[in-house]
Amino acid sequence: MTDATDATSGTALVDFAKLVARLEQFATERDWAQFHSPKNLVMALTGEVGELNEIFQWMPEEASKQAGRNPQTAQAVQDELADVLLYLVRLSSVLGVDLDAAVRQKLKANALRYPADQVRGSSQKHSRPESGESGKD
């Protein structure tokens, strides 16, 4: 019930307007909008996610839980998370997608797709906790 409330009511969960405007201004001031096609931005986003992987690649799962606070990795973790968000918001912006509405729709779909009493405690019943199936093809 609670999962679907905001999606049906249309209340915003996250307001990206200020950040969208900031990134638009940043690109315009540098005449970089010409490079910011969705195809290019997907690749740029991928590059940042690659760097996030590099931070965690040799880290044991338990240690990864401290990576945001560990002085050796905290700054790099923050930087890469920020980079991923910046490209994601810029990508959504140039695509004309309302990221907040997309997220509320997805949360509603996930609540229906993964009923709590059927998937509880299983990583098999869900392959992606907030989205869909894996192992496809």
Give me the 96-135 binding string for a copy of itself, x by CB under 8 A, dash otherwise: xx-x-xxx-xxx--xx--x-x--xxx-x--xxxxxxxxxx
Size of the site for a copy of itself (CB under 8 A): 98
In 3D, which of 24, 10, 37 has the Cα closest to residue 104?
Answer: 10
Name the phi and psi angles at 131, rounded to 5.
-150, -70
How near is the Cβ of 108 to a copy of itself at its closest, in Å?
11
Output the smallest distance, CB 81 to a copy of itself, in A.
Answer: 5
Of 10 and 121, nearer to a copy of itself (C-beta) is 121
Nearest approach, Cβ of 112 to a copy of itself (angstroms)? 12
CB-based burial, 20-41: b 16+ in 10 Å, e otherwise: beebeeebeeeeeeeebeeeeb
Distance CA 91, CA 68 (A): 26
- Restricting to residues 60-89, name those near a copy of itself by CB under 8 A: 60-62, 64-65, 67-69, 73, 76-79, 81-88
Q: Pick out residues in 8-67 that bind a copy of itself (CB under 8 A).
A: 13-16, 18-19, 22-23, 25-27, 29-32, 34-40, 42-62, 64-65, 67
The closest alpha carbon to 106, from 82, 129, 83, 134, belongs to 129
- Do 16 and 100 touch, CB atoms closer than 8 A? yes
